[in-house]
Structure 1
């Protein structure tokens, strides 16, 4: 039980910081668009990565020369484009928050979510490398990994479905402009960190 609690606590603390993926889930939750598929993609992706880390695949990044560099630059390019789109949305003006307003396709939402998850090198450092190495300190690595996976499911479901509590605030277009500008700033800040190493 101690290993599971430690895995949950570490997993939750790593995922709590606002990032590209969390900002996207928040936006989908506020708009009430494809929330369940998006949170499932995030949580299951984390589950796969945590399982890989606990199983000891953290050495893969060290074994394949150049893999980290390709992931870093690819992720930075994606975040720069996504951030630019957020800034453009902020500049054009906010949107009115209504369920289904401006609904994008399910495929587009899922693909964007997959890209924000799997093209982010930090997700590999947090889940595969860090959680994997910490899990080695516990006799029951499986319980530690299960705790971390549980934290991902709790966090993403709370963020995606809890976002609707902020809906009254986002009925004003100015609120959306501020959110879009903040999302763009977060995306570009993460991209800058990736590019600067």
Structure 2
């Protein structure tokens, strides 16, 4: 159960579209250094999650009452995310993601970057520059520390001896998501460019988060 809860919460957090997912999606659409990008993002999440579980665990051992706070903070966090997702579904805005066609042979450009949050991708990037971009988008985002080290690390402590299974579930979710997104991008590009599809995705995310919040609140 701890593994499944970690998997569910991990997926709920990373599926919400941001600069990192936009970058992975666009690299997948372009079929450019896809494996490296997915691996960098997944391994980064794994490191952060493990740091959270280990670091917060030490603090909570000295103050067990913080586990109760962590549980209800997690419930509040997930419910808030669900409400925001439903709000996006009811009042959709520009997602900032537009599927890009693959560049034709000899074409030096690949279209205009989506949303401007990840910068313009023109000529084919080197592996080094692409990996550095993936690292920057991941590690320079302050929200990633709140989601992994603080939030996931805290919620993991509510699982007691199962916290490492929870951590394994969380970073399994990261690996599954990033590789599925990267390699499925060529098929998802057109689907995700539809505002209606984003509304459906937001509704699914909201329902999923509410279910996980219910498990945390009443699962004991």
- TMscore range, shorter length: 0.5 to 0.7
Separation in 1, partners of 2:100, 2:180: 24
Q: Quick check: 1:41 aligned with 2:46?
A: no
- Per the alignment, residue 122 of structure 1 pairs with 143
Q: Could you tell me which of 125, 136, 141 is aligned with 1:104? A: 125
Separation in 2, partners of 1:138, 1:95: 42
1:135–1:141 CA contact under 8 A, matched in 2: yes
Q: CA offsets per residue over residues 109-150 of structure 1, 9 Å max, x none?
A: 100000000000100000000000000001211100000010
1:58–1:128 CA contact under 8 A, matched in 2: no
Change (3 A) 1:153 1:99: farther
Which secondary structure state, in structure 2, belongs to the residue aligned with residue 33 of structure 1? coil
- Per the alignment, residue 56 of structure 1 pairs with 55
Whose helix proportion is higher, 1 or 2? 1
Q: Quick check: 1:157 aligned with 2:179?
A: yes
> Structure 2-normalised TM-score?
0.57
- Per the alignment, residue 163 of structure 2 pairs with 141
Matches within 5 A, 1:9-48: 9-48=8-47
Q: CA offsets per residue over residues 76-128 of structure 1, 9 Å max, x none?
A: xxxxxxxxxxx9xx9xxx97414886311111110000000000010000000
Superposition deviation, residue 29 in structure 1: 0.1
Separation in 2, partners of 1:98, 1:109: 17
Moved over 6 A (4+): none
Separation in 1, partners of 2:185, 2:48: 25
1:58–1:129 CA contact under 8 A, matched in 2: no
Separation in 1, partners of 2:2, 2:167: 8
| Structure 2 unaligned blocks of 5 or more | 60-95, 111-122, 195-220
Please report the RMSD computed on the Cα atoms of aligned residues, expressed in angstroms: 2.8
Separation in 1, partners of 2:147, 2:15: 12
> Structure 1-normalised TM-score?
0.64
Superposition deviation, residue 56 in structure 1: 1.9
| Structure 1 unaligned blocks of 5 or more | 61-86, 179-197
